[in-house]
Amino acid sequence: MSTPKPVDPLESLARGHVRGVGEVLQAMSTLMRRRDEGLPLNLPQVTVFLRSGRELTGLVREYGEGRQGRGVLLITSSGYGSRGDGLDLTFIPDGAIEALTLHDATVLDTPAKSMPESSPMHLRRHLPALADKLSSAWGTKVAVELGAPTELEEEAHIQPLAWLVERAGEVLTRLTRVPDVGDVLREKVRKVRLSVGESFGARLAGDTLELATSRRPPAWPLDSELEQAVTDALP
């Protein structure tokens, strides 16, 4: 399956890989950007230990080059929920940082409450609805199925599939209105197969467009990534 470059920058932390302070801050900045772009992410807090002996705890808003040099913009206040709206921002230059603690990284494994809880019954109802939506957009019958009959028996697959069903409906419908791409979809695709795996990707196998999403929310596809993957998979 054609797979874009990985989009889960903290995945290797769970495998015990050593990462530098800058790498972790960059990863958290990337995840914040992905949340801003629509992914329902719970983000872990970090504690930054300064060479002065002070420490600051908060969410990484952004990490990169600024007018004062390279550093991290940290949301340092608390009490307004996980999104951090309206909170104080503190810029910390790279040279002032001695060490870093990433707190409870496992929160990344669970989607934020902004995403409604799904269920096998919910998905079973929505697959025919997705097929009807795509058939209407194609102008001909399109079937939608899961990658395996056991997909809905895996509790860890329910939310990823719910995300994929919703985003696939929006993206594929929109792509039918794109010149050339829409023509290829109508000509080549008669079935859409959805699954959950280790990574996100898209592949055209015969008349079946196979779409897979990662189990982990940080690596679920944004609309732009799903659109690009589908386009790349078409002949």
The residue ranges of every structural domain in the chain are 11-108, 120-233
Mean pLDDT of 123-144: 96
Mean pLDDT of 69-77: 89
As a whole number of angstroms, the distance between CA 230 and CA 209 comes to 8
- 4 pLDDT exceeds 80? no
The rounded mean pLDDT for the chain is 88
As a whole number of angstroms, the distance between CA 89 and CA 58 comes to 9
* Tally of residues, the chain: 235
Q: What is the CATH number of domain 11-108?
A: 2.30.30.100
- 81 pLDDT exceeds 70? no
As a whole number of angstroms, the distance between CA 177 and CA 172 comes to 9
pTM over 0.95: no
**13, 100 Cβ separation under 8 angstroms:** no
pLDDT on residue 5: 52
- Nearest 5°: phi and psi at 152? -80, -5
- 45 pLDDT exceeds 50? yes
As a whole number of angstroms, the distance between CA 194 and CA 200 comes to 11
As a whole number of angstroms, the distance between CA 21 and CA 212 comes to 32
For the CA atoms of the chain, what is the radius of gyration?
Answer: 20
- Structure token pair of residue 215: 């189990």
**91, 68 Cβ separation under 8 angstroms:** yes
Q: In sequence order, which residues have a C-beta less than 8 Å from that of residue 97 and are 6 or more positions away?
A: 21, 48, 49, 50, 51, 71, 72
